[in-house]
Homo-oligomer: A and B are copies of this chain.
């Protein structure tokens, strides 16, 4: 996937270990019969972190969501470790909360920290009882193996049917101090039912208050992760957490000052990249789609229109067929639930192969089908929509709808 360039921010290696003081590990504890695939992961910070999270809006919530919320409330927005498993979502089980609490306590005991400092997450099949024995048997080995280069092992542990490991990190300056912010994500493969669509864990050495992390995260999740649609289904176990240990030594960010804006930009870059990685690796996807809606009357309208296009199955099928079918884009713009004048809308299709204008003032224009076919033959397609009635802009991400999506999700559970 092509990363976008942002001035003042350099991409670096290391994922969740890119920031100072963060260790990670991952191993196979036996939940996954494939011993080559990790199923249990951990992130640990040497210093206690300020931490915040956002969660799924689904009324059906995994037990780890409930337990993590309670921990962050009890600790007053502090955390020091993440323990996460794949293969079983620990959701819709009568003993789910008890199990999530036990897993957190096992991790805390091995690390010598308070249980309330543990963020717990699970992803996998819903409604199957989670065995606790693998956690008891392997928690010590997991913590013993924590290292500054363990990010890849942890990123592997959270993968379900993901075809690529998803990590990104950036380096930037705050008041002369070099800071780092990195993350890992999983998602979009669902051979098993409702394997939590996505989990995202972000770590940073920036010094920032819990309230400011929560504010930045809540703002940015709206324009990145919440603008991602693979199929319109909202999972039961989604979570994005941010842990900040302050080891970069910058003046702690406690208000919306310039440093806050720079931190927020770093968080945006990492979350935008993870969103694009999730879109690229969407179930059965052959193409990553990014839809930009510009010159909108307000941000909300731009978001609604961009998401309407990205979610349209007809549009997604057309992109799979590499068909410059602008009527479907205009149709999806037209049924977006927002107020604007459809008669002013322009649409362009863009990729590394070029750009082609297909619609002006809400009506089709002549274009070269050859040129359009060339543009749409790329793996990453950018749909540029100008509403021409304001100054706001937003993006949404998704992927094409392919035979493989139907195959993956039509297959039997077991």
Contacts and interface: CB of A to CB of B under 8 A. Distances in A.
Contacts of A172: none
A60 B342 contact: yes
Nearest to A331: B194
B313 A231 contact: yes
A409 B143 CA distance: 50
Interface string A43-72: 000000000000001111000000000000
A232 B125 CA distance: 27
A326 to B, nearest CB: 8
A331 B236 contact: yes
A323 interface: yes
Contacts of A312: 232-233
A405 B362 CA distance: 27
A12 interface: no
Contacts of A321: 409-412
Copies in the complex: 2
Contacts of A320: 406, 410
Given A194-B328, A233-B331, A409 B314 contact: yes
A364 interface: yes
A20 interface: no
Interface in A288-337: 311-314, 317-318, 320-321, 323, 325-328, 330-335
Say whether chain A's binding surface is mostly helix, strand, loop, or mixed.
loop
A59 B345 CA distance: 12
A402 to B, nearest CB: 6
A332 to B, nearest CB: 7
A313 B230 CA distance: 10
A349 interface: no
B58 A327 contact: no
Interface of A: 57-60, 92-94, 125-127, 190, 193-194, 231-236, 311-314, 317-318, 320-321, 323, 325-328, 330-335, 340, 342, 362-364, 401-403, 405-413
8 contacts: A126-B364, A127-B364, A193-B325, A233-B312, A317-B405, A318-B410, A321-B411, A405-B406
